[in-house]
Structure 1
């Protein structure tokens, strides 16, 4: 494409965010490939029909996200075709059923690995957090319950002793919190109680990977089934 060929004009509301989105689209579509130098600021400003300060700020944000790399005296290069923050934003805006299906994948494998690799310290921590979690309160501190539930499931991910999985789950926790609250606010959607969660800990304690995976899946499966029913497909 020509260095100055116009792209769709950025809306006048939130120009920096719109410019970031347009640059990201060029990268994700493959128009600008990893390792390629993107157009210089004046050309980019003309293409996007925004000011150079807006372009500069958009590049700063994407550089901080390690999507772009600014090389002084040389130009700005595409460093990655994936923006982790944007990926997580899209995850957080996915539907409830999509969210819980993804959660089932993460928690099932976390429980499986935890049963294989857990230490006595991991087991002791899980026991404490399970007791603190308890059952969903009929009335009272719902936010506090969600905190305890997240801490319990995060401890399972930690007990898997897989740094990438633990970090992914930690990063995912904000979306987990938002969607758990949405589910608990909807009375038609079941929330498996302490006994179902205890089944995960028991399988991890006896070092039963398959049993732990089945128990973890069983905790999320009723929610997925009910959401599927509500969606009608």
Structure 2
């Protein structure tokens, strides 16, 4: 019972803080009150405030800087975007991936660094080791590879959008890879995309990315 009560108190604290952010209590970039100050203001314990701030940091509203405090990252609650994304259909998810992921990968082919290539090879090798094994493990590794592909475009907005969209990507990969035996062509497309990025060929990278999404 105590765990349920504690969770309820944290949820209430999160709701109160979300409401204050929405009402403009703090400006974007502003340092938030300390945990003791918020605990006193909300009439709750410091531990509850700490847990609530972790939730807000995870959702992207707040940035916690170790030893410095918490800062308001955005007044637009990313939770609403995540909820909207989670309700999209399979076809809507495919269309969005083609627009977001394929175009980002095209940019990655133009902007990638040697460090990006090293990180991508490392992620792909890890995925390869699980391709014919446990599906959940493979999906987790594959998401790391795809996120690094988008990150190689060196556009923080694209990277952040893709992180919100990653749960939909995971569901699509899980669905596509559930049938056995798994198609080697799917993994080969990953290798070919990385080759196109290494060769700085954005047209090939985008074409291969769309082929992978539609496979």
Short-chain TM bin:
0.5 to 0.7
Alpha-carbon distance, 1:174 to partner = 2.4
Deviations 1:133-166 (A, max 9, x none): 128745x411110011101101111111111111
Tell whether the 8 Å contact from 1:130 to 1:194 is kept in structure 2 after alignment.
no
Q: Which residue of 2 aligns with 1:158?
A: 151
- Note if 1:98 corresponds to 2:55: no
The answer (yes or no) to whether the contact 2:107–2:202 under 8 Å persists in 1 is yes
Equivalent residue for 2:23, pick from 68, 90, 97: 68
1:193 equivalent in alignment to 2:186: yes
Q: 2:162 aligns with which of 153, 169, 176?
A: 169
Higher Cα Rg, which structure: 1
Preserved contact between residue 143 and residue 170 of structure 2 (Cα < 8 Å): yes
Structure 1 residues 191 and 176, CA gap change in structure 2 (3 angstroms): farther
Matched, 1:203 2:160: no
Tell me, in whole angstroms, the C-alpha distance in 2 between the residues paired with 1:184 and 1:202. Answer: 23
Q: Secondary structure at the match of 2:154?
A: coil
Contact 1:59–1:68, Cα closer than 8 Å, also in 2: no
Whether 1:118 and 2:112 are equivalent positions in the alignment is: yes
- SS at 1:204's partner residue? helix
SS in 1 for 2:24: strand
Match in the other structure for 2:8 = none
Structure 1: unaligned runs, 5 residues or longer: 1-53, 72-79, 223-233
Conserved in 1, the CA contact under 8 Å of 2:24 and 2:75?
no
What's the CA shift string for 1:25-81, capped at 9, x where partnerless? xxxxxxxxxxxxxxxxxxxxxxxxxxxxx9x986643444xx43248xxxxxxxx99
CA shift for structure 1 position 82: 5.9
Unmatched tracts of structure 2, length 5 or more: 1-11, 27-73
1:185 counterpart SS class:
coil
In 2, the alpha carbon distance for the partners of 1:151 and 1:57 equals: 29
Q: TM-score, normalised by structure 2?
A: 0.62
Residues 109 and 213 of structure 1 are in contact (CA less than 8 Å); yes or no, is this contact kept in structure 2? Answer: yes
Q: Count the aligned residue pairs.
A: 157
| 2:83 is equivalent to residue 89 of structure 1 | yes
RMSD: 3.1
SS at match of 1:161: coil
Bigger fraction of residues in helix: 2
Is contact 2:135–2:178 with CA below 8 Å preserved after alignment?
no
Instruction: Supply the distance in 1 between the matched residues of 2:101 and 2:199 (Cα, whole angstroms).
Output: 18
Structure 1 residues 202 and 180: CA distance shift in structure 2, 3 A: same
Q: How many angstroms does 1:182 deviate by? A: 3.3
- Structure 1 residues 137 and 211: CA distance shift in structure 2, 3 A: closer
